[in-house]
């Protein structure tokens, strides 16, 4: 992960192909693009929505760390899941990773994701709170 000013880049080819960043700092907010279980071109937990969701959340937290933020700063998540049967597993992974934070969360079932091997994609928003 590398930071250039108010943007962070993971090195994913999609960032160059789509003209996007992994994360963008906008004032006190850091907005993290959709993260999946892809790691160096391989899918972590192929066929396992729980493991894929955990890996996606970990990738999002790695992006937040570039800006000095962490799990406690997460205020919103959006989960895109490719099958209704996987919503419980993805929700459980979300709870296991972010349950103590209790961010506003949305889960949507979608027809598919860019890489058909991925079953879940997760976006994260974090807020840098005033230290006073």
pLDDT band at 1 (very low <50, low <70, confident <90, very high): confident
Question: What torsion do the CA atoms of 13, 108, 53, 10 make, to the nearest 10 degrees?
Answer: 20
Q: List beta partners, residue 79.
A: 107, 122
Phi, psi of 29 (to 5 degrees): -95, 145
Look at residue 132 and tell me whether its pLDDT is greater than 60. Answer: no
CATH match of 2-127 with 3.30.1330.40: yes
Count the Cβ atoms, other than its own, within 10 Å of residue 108. Answer: 10
For the ranges 5-9, 13-17, 19-23, 71-75, the one whose mean pLDDT is highest: 71-75
For 115-124, how does the pLDDT look when each residue is reduced to its tens digit (9 = 90+)? 999 999 999 9
Look at residue 131 and tell me whether its pLDDT is greater than 80. Answer: no
125 touches 31 (CB < 8 A): yes
CA distance 77 to 31: 10
Tell me what percent of the chain is helix, strand and coil, each rounded to the nearest 5.
30, 35, 35
Q: List beta partners, residue 77.
A: 105, 124
The structure's pTM equals: 0.93
CA distance 25 to 30: 4
CA distance 128 to 132: 12
Q: Quick one: tokens of 45?
A: 């937990």
């Amino acid at each position: 992960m590398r930071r250039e000013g108010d943007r962070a880049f993971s090195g994913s080819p999609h960032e160059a192909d789509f003209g996007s960043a992994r994360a963008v700092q906008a004032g006190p907010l850091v907005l993290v693009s959709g993260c999946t279980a892809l790691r160096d071109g391989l899918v972590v937990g192929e066929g396992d929505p729980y493991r894929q969701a955990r890996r996606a959340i970990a990738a999002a937290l790695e992006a937040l760390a570039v800006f000095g933020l962490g799990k406690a700063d997460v205020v919103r998540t959006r989960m895109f899941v490719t099958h209704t049967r996987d919503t419980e597993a993805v929700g459980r992974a979300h709870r296991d990773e972010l349950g103590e934070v209790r961010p506003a969360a949305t889960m949507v079932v979608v027809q598919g994701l860019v890489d058909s091997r991925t079953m879940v994609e997760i976006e994260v928003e974090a807020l840098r709170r005033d230290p006073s």
